[in-house]
Amino acid sequence: MKTLNITILQFPGTNCEYDTVWAFRRLGHETTVVWHKEEALPEGSDLVVVPGGFSYGDYLRSGSIARFSPIMKAVQAYAGEGGRVLGICNGFQILTEAHLLPGALKRNQNLHFISRIQHLRVVETDNAFLNLFEKGEVLKIPIAHADGNYFVDDETLDDMERNGQILLRYCDEKGEPMVVNGSVRQIAGICNKEKNVYGLMPHPERAMESILGSEDGVRMLEGFANA
């Protein structure tokens, strides 16, 4: 697989940027961490990752302040030109707030922070993110969030289903649907219509070694180099 140049954003309150650096370097890729006040992305970026954490302390609403950071204008332009963007957890929230992905992330249905290893079912593989998986495959990936309840209106959701934009759903170990945080239709990950912007609440960068409970995140992140 080819070596990629991975750009990883950093906001005040981000806490997963160096986990993400480690994960991509483990796969042999080059990484650059970019502070939120920068106005341009490094030239030759093959993938921009908006990592997890609590940008701006999740004040107002998760991701709602970070989406106005200077670097996000560059991310929007990059995505608009077909550049690949991956948002993980808080990064997913930021991408919905920036209207790079449809829908919104609300407070978990039970109003509690959820942190555990969770089973996910792969829904679509015709994309750069999940191209190394089979449809219906069941994975184990850690989750850690308070605002992971994905919501979108019914009309948009039906369009997303038809367009293959629903990528991952929460499930049990047998692949049966499972309510985890109240997400509509148990959605855990999506992409945009053009399939170059991806968002998910689970943390693939924390599922890189079996000793830590799962290495299913390896194939997720490797997918970009295989596309």
Active site residues: 89, 203, 205
Q: In what order do the strands lie in the sheet with 187-191?
A: 30-35, 5-10, 47-50, 85-88, 197-200, 187-191, 166-170, 114-122, 138-145
> Residue 183 and residue 176: Cα distance in Å, rounded?
15
Judged on CB neighbours under 10 Å (0-12, 13-18, 19+), 115 is exposed
Q: Does the CA dihedral 124-130-133-136 come out positive or negative?
A: negative
Could you identify the residue written with the tokens 């981000």?
14
Angle between helix 216-226 and 17-26 (nearest 10): 70
Identity at 67, one-letter amino acid code: R
